[in-house]
């Protein structure tokens, strides 16, 4: 994704300059342990090409998604990183959206000539 940068940054992988207009992957700061081998790549950016060929890419994406799965924003949304490093905001999932409406779930139907409000089990 091409994002404007306020100043020149350094790619966390190749250490080359990332200039305004370059296609970059921004990696959020989500690993606190400085001894973690992936820590130095967080809170930074990489060229898209560097990220795409990085051997640790899958591990970082999986780790981010594991952490993000338990973090929910105040509005109920969650973040998810795809294989290309793009962050997606996912809407909250209601438990009730996983099941059909109750009358259909238990086999209730509305007999001809009856109002749906008056229907019940047969």
Residues of the chain with pLDDT under 50: 1-6, 119
* Residue 68, H or E segment: helix 57-70
Query: Can you give the residue ranges of every domain in the chain?
Result: 9-102
Residue among 66, 54, 61, 100 nearest 81 (CA): 61
Distance of CA 37 to the CA centre of its chain: 22
Q: Could you give the angle at the alpha carbon of 66 between the alpha carbons of 60 and 67, nearest 5°?
A: 90
Give the global pTM. 0.66
pLDDT of residue 3: 47
Q: Report the largest interatomic distance among the alpha carbons of the chain, rounded to a whole angstrom.
A: 74
Is residue 51 a contact partner of residue 13, using CB atoms and an 8 Å limit?
yes
């Amino acid at each position: 994704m091409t994002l404007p940068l306020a100043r020149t940054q350094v790619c966390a992988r190749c250490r080359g300059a990332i200039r305004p207009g370059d296609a970059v992957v921004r990696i959020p700061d989500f690993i606190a342990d400085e001894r973690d081998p992936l820590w130095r790549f967080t809170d930074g950016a990489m060229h898209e090409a560097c990220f795409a060929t990085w051997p640790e890419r899958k591990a970082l994406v999986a780790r981010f998604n594991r952490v993000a799965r338990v973090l929910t924003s105040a509005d109920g949304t969650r973040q998810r990183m795809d294989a290309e490093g793009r962050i997606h905001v996912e809407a909250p999932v209601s438990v009730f959206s996983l099941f059909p409406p109750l009358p259909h779930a238990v086999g209730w139907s509305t007999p001809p000539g009856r109002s749906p409000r008056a229907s019940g089990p047969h």
